[in-house]
């Protein structure tokens, strides 16, 4: 029998949504964004305090945390596929790359990196690239942002 003669199967029906999803999807959109916006503002205020009032520093730090997350995910995937030994090296970034990614002028990025180095969040390697520093903490990073992922969207 040729492939053209096979009738397409009917698409599967999605599973019934639970009460939480129904409640979430049924929220008034303006109420949702008001609630989420309040959480977003409080997170930014907290982060601003941690980064000496400079959210651009946080943005640059975020890029480093995302590279760390990518590295950890790749290592976990390799272990899940049965790799006995996983060698995972941090990825370095240069000032120009950070400027292009963040859309912050290169000289400003350089100054922000100096502040991040002073705080221990970033370090500069012998190769001239920048890496997460000893005070970089992926768990703390996600903890600080957690209200945006759960508290900001869960129904009352």
Domains parsed from the chain with CATH numbers: 30-151 (1.10.10.10)
What's the rounded Cα separation, in Å, for the pair 89 and 81? 19
CB 113 within 8 A of CB 57: no
Question: What is the pTM (predicted TM-score) of this model?
Answer: 0.72
Q: Determine the pLDDT at residue 10.
A: 53
pLDDT of residue 34: 82
- What pLDDT is stored for residue 83 in this prediction? 87
> Residues 6 or more apart from 111 whose CB is under 8 A from it?
none
pLDDT at position 101, please? 96
User: Of the spans 27-31, 82-86, 114-118, which averages the highest pLDDT?
Assistant: 114-118
Longest CA–CA span in the chain (Å) reads 71
88 has which bridge partners?
Answer: none
Contact 56, 111 (CB under 8 A): no
Q: How far apart are CA 65 and CA 88, in angstroms?
A: 15
- In this predicted structure, the answer to whether residue 18 has a pLDDT above a threshold of 90 is no
pLDDT computed for residue 2 by the predictor: 43
Instruction: Provide mean pLDDT across the span 32-48.
Output: 87
């Amino acid at each position: 029998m040729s492939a053209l003669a096979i009738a397409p199967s009917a698409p599967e029906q999605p599973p019934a949504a639970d009460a939480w999803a129904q409640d979430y999807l049924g929220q008034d959109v303006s109420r949702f964004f008001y609630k989420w916006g309040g959480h977003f503002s409080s997170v930014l205020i907290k982060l601003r305090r941690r980064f000496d009032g400079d959210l651009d520093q946080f943005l640059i730090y975020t890029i480093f945390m995302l590279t760390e997350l990518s590295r950890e995910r790749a290592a976990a995937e390799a272990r899940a596929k049965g790799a006995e030994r996983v060698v995972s090296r941090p990825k370095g970034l240069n000032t120009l790359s950070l400027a292009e990614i963040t859309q912050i002028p290169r000289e400003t990025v350089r100054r922000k990196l100096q502040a991040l180095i002073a705080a221990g969040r970033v370090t500069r390697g012998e190769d001239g690239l920048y890496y997460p520093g000893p005070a970089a903490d992926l768990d703390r990073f996600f903890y600080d942002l957690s209200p945006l992922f759960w508290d900001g969207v869960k129904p009352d």
